[in-house]
Structure 1
Amino acid sequence: MNNWFKAAAVLGLMACSTGLMAQKLPVIQQTSFKKDSTYITKFGAIADGQTLNTKAINAAIDACNKKGGGVVVVPAGLWLTGPLVLKSNVNLHLKKGAMLQFTKDFNQYQLVEGNWEGIPQMRNQSPVSATNATNIAITGFGVIDGGGEAWRQVRKEKLTESQWKKWTSQGGVVSADGNSWYPSEQWLQATKMKNAGEITPDKTPEFYKSIKDFLRPNLIVITKCKKVLLEGVTFQNSAAWCLHPLMSEDLTVRNVTVKNPWFAQNGDGIDVESCNRVLIENSSFDVGDDGLCMKSGRDEAGRKRGMPTENVIIRDCKVYHAHGGFVIGSEMSGGARNIWVDNCTFIGTDIGLRFKTTRGRGGIVENIYINDIQMIDIPGEAILFDMYYMSVDPVALAGEKRELPKVETLPVTEATPQFQNFVVKNVVCNGAAKGIFIRGIPEMHVKEVHLENMMLQADKGIDIQEASGITLKNVTILSKETNPVVDIINSDRLTFDKLTYKKDAELLFRVAGDRTKNINIQNTDASKAKEKIQYEFGASAQNVTIK
């Protein structure tokens, strides 16, 4: 039995012990291709970096598909091209030294109906796309570059002064406040509209053309496909999200490298949206937004689609710069469930494990099993559950002011999101702004989260607000700030079993709120703290048990 299946067995047993339903690991169907090879050079492709090879490469794909499938070979060389469309039974294979460079000429990308951030939107055609295809792949050893710098907005505060001068000297438009660069005036004007690209009856083709530059394409979009393989290739420099499988089944992502500049707006690594049976393994991500991200549609559109992302295995992956290492949300309105994450390393991601949503989303995220996570140098939280996601960078930039959300209780509706039934085990983090942050909403707490065997070194300790059924077992939190080590607000059924902290901490627990109750502290030496517990805002000692 290999380490993964041992871990899965442990997770399953742990899930049973904590009241969660243990799930069998999903079986992901694999692709299979004829050995027939079709070289793009036979259709007139030229590797001079100047010739546009769109027609030649698409012709090779079409010919391969028509003869029953096989391998379309991209030899070593620099191949300039426009959008490519994969067809059933075709494996697009990049040889060593092969680079597909997608043109920065926006005119080569047609406007097409697509999906962006969980809702139907008009977009520029993706550099590589497939729709309703079966048994497709992108494999090999080469590089696919999306030419993203031509498409993206850039914020001044994310560049050095010399970088900013160089960027703005290439043309484009600088905002009136001088803080952002845009590729064109129509790009800038579109930012002043709400959901400019959203497909609605009142918008005409002429309108979409007037904001075409703004409608950035994702690099790889796989829609409603079955049996998909992405293996070995480096995917980089996307205009928006890099890899976007949407409403697809039996997806395998193996040994890939995904790279975007750290300042790339919406430069996610992989966004698995409303997909079933997914395996992501032995891959690395160094991007401008979330690294490994699970989604399922946004608000009413996502609930209407009603397709959760489910039955996902993620193992042996590394995430470098990203807003989050492993992420669920915030567009999770169709739900996410039955997800296993094992043996992943996060190096400098803004947040490590990031679960985010907000009122209006709806959707249930449940049965999430996470094991063996290593993290270093996390600017934000090592582990975060947040139901007040505000669509901003997770770490505030220098001088940026943010207000706390207004806390109020609203009625529970289909638009109320839910996080429940998580097991997170064996986590080590050296360096974070905060160890653990759990923040639900008054009408729907974050529920049933089991955190076990953790060593977290952070500036601040543990912050739990509006949560129920949270267990921390054998957790060591070495926080610089110890007043308090653990902050609890309006939460119930919390268990701290063998909590370890720095000696001579100022205050071990601050317990606040008249809705806080059933706090159980056991196997924890509270004598090392100068003060054991403070009660505030209606909380009282009768709701806390220390054994």
Structure 2
Amino acid sequence: MTPFKRYYSRTLQFALGLFLMLPQIGMSQEPARPIIQQVEFKKDTLNISNYGAKGNGQFLNTATINQTIRTCSERGGGVVLIPAGIWLTGPIEMQSNVNLHLKRDAVLLFTKDFDQYKLVESNWEGEPAWRNQNPISGKNLSNIAITGDGIIDGSGDAWRMVKKSKLTSSQWKNLVASGGTVDSDAAIWYPSESSLRGSKQKKAGVIRPGTTAEDFKDVKDFLRPNLLVFTNCKKVLIEGVTIQNSPAWNIHPLLCDDLTLRKVSVRNPWYGQNGDGVDVESCKNVLIEDCTFDVGDDGICIKSGRDKAGRERGKPTENVIIRNSVVYHAHGGFVIGSEMSGGARNIWVEDCSFIGTDIGLRFKTTRGRGGIVENIFINNINMVDIPGEAILFDMYYAAVDPVPLAGEKRPAIKSVNIPVTEETPQFKNFYIKNIVAKGASKGIFFRGLPEMHIQNIWIEHATLQANKGIEIIEASQINLKNIVLKTQQSNPLITIENSSDIHLDNIQALDAPEVYVQVAGDKSDNIRLTKSNTSSAKVVSQFIAGSTDKSLTIKN
């Protein structure tokens, strides 16, 4: 079977599976699945070594590689070949109709000389910002690719700050001895004084009226680039390569259409600040398949701009298929947010494994973002050794690591009801099925806003081994069906607070809980627990903080 036929065969199989699933999960009509347009190139091949490049790890090849890419594009496109060798370079600028192809023994190594990266108008965490030029970039291009079996190394260790708490004593001493500087608390190492100064500025580099690059030169080292950024490009392929050691995010497609990531490996140190695997931002028609991520922040992440800037851009990430991928260390395996102010919709995730990610399925936002996240379909996810929640919806994201360090105390969330505005985010219409988690801190966690509940979530056929079971706060129209819970510390097994229209059907506790379900808050209402082994608990139901037994109906 050809790759073309195999792609459409797998797409039809998954579509059929979801179609059969719809009557059970409560959605009458699934959105049309996208067809992602693919790249095509001339066979003409230009070898960078024939244009003066040297793969000895010492010669700076920036000008040579960029000239070869321009020449290829001007001739109508084709392949620019990176042969075996260590090819030291500064920033590379892609051109239309060019496939940058790395041979198996090729290492494209970006220089640690910060002077090679000029400050440019860019984007940082969903807002326009001055940043150091991206090691690989392209803007307003079409029909571009990076392929092969080689390695792209961003030399991110030269750029990133490092927290002492994330290293052993010996590692910390060696890092400090290597140069750079530490903050006044001796808690964070910075590669330079310029980087430290930048850390003390609020939203350093963010473009404001009247500011220029000159205004940020004294903090230039702090303005780390993302490794690979394509902006407003059409028909993009990244296939086969290993992308690693980025100063910040590894792969950042922004405002792109028809994007394919296939068989890509992405690696960053687990302690790397902002070391996301891939952040798909305000893109349309995306396929991510057969990829592997092992990074220092979120693994596979969906974004669409931050706060006012994202709302004004008004471009959601939509029509995305993610399948057959593995995420090892990461803050989240599959993630939406927190910069989702332009919205996200029509996203399918299937047949993925998360091994040791802090959280498995992670959906995060906060007041001020705005944006609507809806029509998310997730099927067949395996998780192992998840330190946090297997499935998390949180509308109080606070930009901290998802799992507190030993001894770390975080303030409790204070629930305050405020008016709904354009700044109010929404999570609704998620359909999640066939989830297995072996080891997690908590199985399922919902935390919505009093003024905007998390709404219409379906989770069906899940087996979750976790310390704690299910917690639902400020949510409505939540449907959990055929859930098996093996818990160690869960008391109660299920907690529901100020939530309504909650249907729990066939919940099975493998370990007898002290309390099966606890209801809290005077706004809790219309909670139904059916066909569940409530008799295994010493106390079936408990009502606190203004709730009454009228809020809960149990039928077995």
The alignment's TM-score, normalised by the length of structure 2, stands at 0.97
Query: What is the CA–CA distance in structure 2 between the aligned matches of 1:118 and 1:82, rounded to whole Å?
Result: 25
What are the equivalent positions in structure 2 for 1:311-322 lying under 5 Å apart? 311-322=319-330
Letter in 1 for 2:282: S
SS state at 2:63 partner: helix
Q: Report Cα offsets for 1:281-339 as digits up to 9, x if no partner.
A: 00000000000000000000000000000000000000000000000000000000000
Match among 389, 392, 399 for residue 384 of structure 1: 392
Query: What is the CA–CA distance in structure 2 between the aligned matches of 1:540 and 1:405, rounded to whole Å?
Result: 24
Query: What is the CA–CA distance in structure 2 between the aligned matches of 1:141 and 1:40, rounded to whole Å?
Result: 17
Does 2:80 align with 1:72? Answer: yes
Q: Report Cα offsets for 1:20-39 as digits up to 9, x if no partner.
A: 34122100000000000001
Q: Is the 8 A contact 2:85 2:106 kept in 1?
A: yes
Letter in 1 for 2:15: A
Q: Report Cα offsets for 1:223-267 as digits up to 9, x if no partner.
A: 000000000000000000000000000000000000000000000
Does 2:223 align with 1:229? Answer: no
Q: Compute the displacement of 1:183 (Å).
A: 1.0
Match among 471, 474, 496 for residue 479 of structure 2: 471
Does 2:10 align with 1:12? Answer: no
Query: What is the CA–CA distance in structure 2 between the aligned matches of 1:401 and 1:179, rounded to whole Å?
Result: 17
Q: Is the 8 A contact 2:356 2:387 kept in 1?
A: yes
> Which residue of the partner structure matches residue 148 of structure 1?
156
Query: What is the CA–CA distance in structure 2 between the aligned matches of 1:72 and 1:135, rounded to whole Å?
Result: 14
> Which residue of the partner structure matches residue 513 of structure 1?
521
Q: Is the 8 A contact 1:482 1:508 kept in 2?
A: no
Q: Is the 8 A contact 1:241 1:268 kept in 2?
A: yes
Query: What is the CA–CA distance in structure 1 between the aligned matches of 2:55 and 2:511, rounded to whole Å?
Result: 65
Q: Compute the displacement of 1:42 (Å).
A: 1.6
Q: Compute the displacement of 1:526 (Å).
A: 1.1
Q: Compute the displacement of 1:386 (Å).
A: 0.1
> Which residue of the partner structure matches residue 247 of structure 1?
255
Query: What is the CA–CA distance in structure 1 between the aligned matches of 2:85 and 2:553, rounded to whole Å?
Result: 68
Letter in 1 for 2:21: M
What are the equivalent positions in structure 2 for 1:94-493 lying under 5 Å apart? 94-493=102-501
Letter in 2 for 1:312: V
Q: Compute the displacement of 1:503 (Å).
A: 4.1
**Is there any run of 5+ residues in structure 2 with no aligned partner, and where?**
1-7
Q: Is the 8 A contact 2:143 2:235 kept in 1?
A: yes
SS state at 2:15 partner: helix
Query: What is the CA–CA distance in structure 1 between the aligned matches of 2:109 and 2:212, rounded to whole Å?
Result: 32
SS state at 1:361 partner: coil
Query: What is the CA–CA distance in structure 2 between the aligned matches of 1:505 and 1:355, rounded to whole Å?
Result: 28
Query: What is the CA–CA distance in structure 1 between the aligned matches of 2:427 and 2:511, rounded to whole Å?
Result: 34
Q: Compute the displacement of 1:193 (Å).
A: 1.2
Q: Is the 8 A contact 2:299 2:335 kept in 1?
A: yes
Letter in 2 for 1:7: F
Q: Compute the displacement of 1:142 (Å).
A: 0.1
Letter in 2 for 1:6: Q
Q: Report Cα offsets for 1:192-223 as digits up to 9, x if no partner.
A: 11111100124343221111101100000000
Letter in 1 for 2:461: N
Query: What is the CA–CA distance in structure 1 between the aligned matches of 2:50 and 2:363, rounded to whole Å?
Result: 48
Does 2:44 align with 1:40? Answer: no
RMSD: 1.0
Letter in 2 for 1:25: R
Letter in 2 for 1:423: Y
The alignment's TM-score, normalised by the length of structure 1, stands at 0.99
Letter in 2 for 1:218: N
SS state at 1:52 partner: coil
Aligned length: 547
My pick for the range that moved more, 166-175 or 431-440, is 166-175
Query: What is the CA–CA distance in structure 2 between the aligned matches of 1:497 and 1:2, rounded to whole Å?
Result: 34
Q: Report Cα offsets for 1:126-147 as digits up to 9, x if no partner.
A: 0000000000000001000000
Q: Is the 8 A contact 1:13 1:22 kept in 2?
A: no
> Which residue of the partner structure matches residue 5 of structure 2?
none
Q: Report Cα offsets for 1:431-451 as digits up to 9, x if no partner.
A: 000000000000000000000
Identical columns (%): 59
**Is there any run of 5+ residues in structure 1 with no aligned partner, and where?**
none
Q: Is the 8 A contact 1:76 1:98 kept in 2?
A: yes
Letter in 2 for 1:14: M
Q: Is the 8 A contact 1:4 1:342 kept in 2?
A: no
Letter in 1 for 2:477: G
SS state at 1:48 partner: coil
Q: Is the 8 A contact 2:488 2:511 kept in 1?
A: no
Query: What is the CA–CA distance in structure 2 between the aligned matches of 1:479 and 1:503, rounded to whole Å?
Result: 6
Q: Compute the displacement of 1:12 (Å).
A: 3.2
Query: What is the CA–CA distance in structure 1 between the aligned matches of 2:11 and 2:212, rounded to whole Å?
Result: 52
> Which residue of the partner structure matches residue 3 of structure 2?
none
Q: Is the 8 A contact 1:15 1:423 kept in 2?
A: no
Letter in 1 for 2:12: F
Q: Is the 8 A contact 2:487 2:511 kept in 1?
A: no
Q: Report Cα offsets for 1:128-168 as digits up to 9, x if no partner.
A: 00000000000001000000000000000101111111111
SS state at 1:51 partner: coil
Q: Is the 8 A contact 1:12 1:23 kept in 2?
A: no
